[in-house]
Amino acid sequence: MTDYPTGLGTSDRDTISLLGHDLAGDLLGTVTFGELAFWLATQQRPTPGQLRVFEAVLVSLADHGFTPTAIAARLTYYSAPDSLQGAIAAGLLGGGSRFLGVTEDTGMFLHTALADLGDTSGFTDEQWDAAALTLLTQTKQSGRRVPGLGHPVHKLRDPRTDVIIRIADEQGLRGAHLRLFEAIGRTNGQVLGKDLPLNGAGVAGAALADLGLPIELLRGFALLARTAGLIGHLAEERINPIAPAIYAEVDRNAVYVPAIPTN
């Protein structure tokens, strides 16, 4: 008989166990959803400070208005109102390098850079700036972009960045990922020719990485947060729909262009 081990949850006739605790007797009513999400991902219960930073990041990523992910969810719901799960999935599938995925991309970028820097525990701001300049130069020379820089709306300052950094600092969790990313924010103009602000998704990735969360799962936390936003969009779509107007606008203004034959 084959065993299928798991340290998450199991159940029998009378009980449900989760993370080594009785779900009904120990967790219901005492554990927040954010705390449980962190716990499930790390198999370690977060400290109050970790939880405060983690939930602040989730709130910062929940919704940003009519993004492509929200529009995709609303249009799918219009097409298949009997499939709420399909509409939510359609929105989540749009989480990539331009929306939502920036959180993971930034965390991974910083994590890789820090591995090359070695021990940074005693770094001054000047040392962080020097490290950031080297990293920016190498990234530019390789033809790559630095994830988490710039924002299509917040051209000067993303309003989320200072708040997330402040909360992390208050909790003693402003670690190497955030400090390197802050240095990138201070110095990128010297390499790129113009100053680009750190965006909220990038700062979120740096903050999550400083919490010790698995780097490969950071996009999952962004998707977790955005799920709440998508549910909100679908709830609003039921009452005040915009998807029919979007569909009609595109359909009525579509211009047929015959394909050019190729030999």
pLDDT tens, N- to C-terminus, the chain (263 residues): 898 888 888 898 899 998 989 999 999 999 999 999 999 999 999 999 999 999 999 999 999 889 999 999 999 999 999 999 999 999 999 887 777 778 999 999 999 999 999 899 999 999 999 999 999 999 999 999 999 998 767 767 889 999 999 999 999 999 999 999 999 999 999 999 899 999 999 999 999 999 999 999 999 999 999 999 999 999 999 999 999 999 999 999 999 988 777 76
Of the candidates 65, 144, 76, 107, which has an alpha carbon nearest to the alpha carbon of residue 222? 107
Instruction: Provide the pLDDT for residue 263.
Output: 66
Does residue 122 sit in the same domain as residue 200?
yes
Report d(CA 191, CA 2) in Å as an integer: 57
Number of domains in the chain: 2
Does residue 106 sit in the same domain as residue 208?
yes
In a domain, 171, yes or no: yes
CB 184 within 8 A of CB 136: yes
Q: Is the pTM of this model over 0.75?
A: yes
Both tokens assigned to 53: 């930073």
Does residue 39 sit in the same domain as residue 142?
no
Strand order in the sheet with 9-11: 9-11, 16-18, 21-22
Instruction: Provide the pLDDT for residue 24.
Output: 93
Of 178, 196, 214, the residue at which a domain comes to its end is 214
Both tokens assigned to 184: 């990138």
Does residue 124 sit in the same domain as residue 41?
no
Instruction: Provide the pLDDT for residue 99.
Output: 75
Does residue 106 sit in the same domain as residue 206?
yes
Neighbouring-strand partners of residue 21: 18
Q: List Cβ neighbours of 126 (8 Å cut-off, separation of 6 or more).
A: none
In a domain, 51, yes or no: no
Instruction: Provide the pLDDT for residue 156.
Output: 77
Instruction: Provide the pLDDT for residue 188.
Output: 94
Does residue 34 sit in the same domain as residue 107?
no
Of the candidates 112, 144, 148, which has an alpha carbon nearest to the alpha carbon of residue 131? 112
CB 63 within 8 A of CB 164: no
Report d(CA 191, CA 85) in Å as an integer: 45
Does residue 202 sit in the same domain as residue 105?
yes
Instruction: Provide the pLDDT for residue 133.
Output: 96
In a domain, 69, yes or no: no
Does residue 118 sit in the same domain as residue 209?
yes
- Structural domain boundaries, residue 177: 101-214
CATH of residue 110's domain is 1.10.230.10
In a domain, 81, yes or no: no
Does residue 132 sit in the same domain as residue 37?
no
Does residue 25 sit in the same domain as residue 114?
no
Does residue 116 sit in the same domain as residue 184?
yes
